[in-house]
Structure 1
Amino acid sequence: MLQRLPREVLLTAEGERLRCVVSDAFRCMDTVIGEIRQERISAPMEMICAPSFAMRWLMPRMGDFFLRPNLLLHDDSAWSGAPALIEWRTWLEHAGVDLPDLHLGQRFNVSQLAVGSAMTGQGIAMGRNCTC
């Protein structure tokens, strides 16, 4: 797919074909994301993709798409048998905060996605390890 030359790397014919298809796919996704933003859908939306794609490409480009009054980001991969949202429930209870709409925040199946989303300003994530 790539041809290495002494001072540059060029796409082969196959690489150029793939670049065109991938570029079109990303443009289509960008268009649809823009349309969804305009529609202001209030129903839950589920996005399924590879975690590496979500972390490296998708989440940094989501901007304020997910910003809502409830900015808590949930990691749905809690330990086996744990009640839903146990980390947030425990933390909020100790902080003396009552948050009836706790379930409305974004949900992720990988904790790094929740933390990565928080790092791009999309909310507050509950981490399991110190990031100091």
Structure 2
Amino acid sequence: MRLPRLTGSVLSGLHCFLIAADQMSFTRAAELLCLTQSAVSHKIKNLEETLGVKLFIRQPRKLVLTDEGKRLKEVVAHNFGDIANELRDLKTLDLSGDLNVSVPPTFAQCWLVPRLKSFVEKYPALRFHLRTRNELVDFQTESFDCAIYFGNGKYQGLHVSKIMDESIIPVCSHEYAVEHGLYGNPAKLSSCLLLHDAAPWARAGRNDEWQYWAQQNGVALAEAGCTFDRADLALQAAERGIGVAMGRASFVTEQLASGRLVAPFTLSVTSPQSYYLVCRKEMATSPRIKAFIDWLEEIK
């Protein structure tokens, strides 16, 4: 058997030969390869001519491997198996190791963690490490691979991928809404206790989110209020009937559906801030970060 050059045609022929030798049928090989039976037969014939040996004995209703065909099948199966295993290993290497992510606390608790199971199941070799904080990450001195920010998307020197927009609307318990006459009457907010997320986004003031909503709707707000360093704490306080919190749509869907919270008036406003994934520019092509971004795109 003379040694041929491993051209694309020869490699394609070897693959076709291996499938046909496994199935011992050109017809079944054609089905597996999404080819016609004549195309498979043609590939095998060209391979036999290139190699200068006969690989199959074609008998009525069946194929029989020649001695040369048996030898070639063993070699090709072994080497194609090695190639397939190596390709799987390379893919696993790309999506293994550690992925360290910084996420705002309430986003992590109310949106990300409830959906995280599908990500860890999709990439079992990837070790996912979640840390929560409201502050921006210093990627020069901290060991985070990427971070999710709620902000304006302007993060100098970093790669930025927008995840999703947000909308905001006041929420409270049904009992609180009835007691203060809030249903259909946003002017009554002036006599309510407002519950503030003290850090809705990096460098925000404690009442910036409420003020933005009020300005968009021409509503006067009460001066009195309570502040919390996490939005989910403000929402829990609203559930307990303490006051009215500013709800983000991505955080309050479940509570509104169950009735634990109500939106006493339909004055939803698109937030001036959105969710972004950020990382160092040189890390933007990292398979781990790309996999995380693609997954976020799928589930949002």
Question: TM-score normalised by the shorter chain: which range applies?
Answer: 0.3 to 0.5
More strand by share: 2
Q: Which protein shows a greater Rg?
A: 2
Q: Which TM-score applies when normalising by structure 1?
A: 0.42
